Amino acid sequence: MPAHHLMPTYQPLPMSFSHGAGCKLWDGEQREYLDALAGVAVTSVGHCHPRVVDAIREQAGQLLHTSNHYGIQWQQRLAARLAQVSGMEQAFFNNSGAEANETALKLARLYAQHRGIERPLVVVMENAFHGRTLGTLAASDCSAVRLGYKPLPGEFLRVPFGELSVLHDLTQAFGERICAVLVEPVQGESGVRVAPPGYLKALRALCDQQSWLLMLDEIQTGIGRTGQWFAFQHEGILPDVMTLAKALGNGIPIGACLARAQVAQLFTPGSHGSTFGGNPLACRVACTVLDIVEQEGLPANAARQGQRLLEGLRAAVGHLPCVKQLRGLGLMVGIELHSPARDLVRRAADEQRLLINVARGTTIRLLPPLTVDDGQIDEIIRRLAALLGN
């Protein structure tokens, strides 16, 4: 089928897949691939998990959409379930991570208005990525995805990721205008850059001191990927606002913005909305995903397999001249190389039947399903060693 009717926003490899199961995909010629990308941290419980398939099939035969003009029981169940595992209190559902971050930014604006701040500022991080809407692009820091879209809306203060001293300096110059800090616990799109130990806890303390909102973008880190349900739980804190998407629906589009009650209640009827957000199908699938993650112990598996992956990579490729650094948290692992490596995505697929991603040009990003087992981790390591050793 020719692709010339599609807008030229992607440069896909000349391949497509017919079906998948667990950590494996098959193309139209029945060649098998090991998936170390999971649709960019989306299919975390694996491709075609039987319980997800059953939930989609049954719900599609019952009810897909009614709109938010009526109560949606699966939406209410999902909100309660997310509150239980996160410690947050209220949720708003939409269709994507970018929309979830837009919801968070709107809450920050309302919070600023509540505090009487006329020209509010949100602190964001260098090398951050929060989405592709104009608002989330303004909060992001990637010249390639921002190219051609200026002027971007909103006012943001950009600071180095992981460094608190600059933030403390900002309180002197802009403290009265700052209303929130938006941060990814692990910067996935910039090459799997993990926040230093203690950083989120120190941010929490600073936000408490200054009466700022701490808003965490857990779109890529959430739902077990880092070895906890959410990355903030590694440091025993609680944000004011948190955004989710990706793994929440395992391929069914859904996003969520969670907040503490006093922040969530800044919204009033009509102040925000979504046509499709929180529909019965997406919310039932998300409830099923949460059940699978809990009952199959996938956060613990992510912690164990992530350690196995990092240790195995250090032994297999850490000594190679092309490798600059290995880093990661749970099943979110980056191999930074000394030179651009975009051709490795194609070579990995063609030569090793391995699906990977390259972030910011020089970092191989590994995001396998959380259901991955010892043998599959060892096979990822073996195939990468063969790829990088050539």
d(CA 127, CA 66): 39
CB of 43 within 8 A of CB of 292?
Answer: no
Containing H/E element for 63? Answer: none
What's the gap between Cα 235 and its chain centre?
18
Alpha helices (runs of H) in the chain, residue ranges in sequence order: 38-41, 50-60, 73-86, 97-114, 134-139, 143-146, 164-174, 199-210, 261-264, 280-295, 298-316, 343-352, 374-389
Residue positions annotated with a catalytic role: 129, 217, 246
Q: Are strands 90-94 and 121-125 parallel, antiparallel or unpaired?
A: unpaired
d(CA 135, CA 147): 14
Q: What angle do CA 136, 82, 227 make, to 5 degrees?
A: 80
Q: Which of 250, 242, 240 is nearest to 212 (CA)?
A: 240
Q: Coil, helix or strand for 20?
A: strand
Tokens of residue 257, six digits: 């913005």
d(CA 55, CA 42): 17
d(CA 204, CA 306): 27
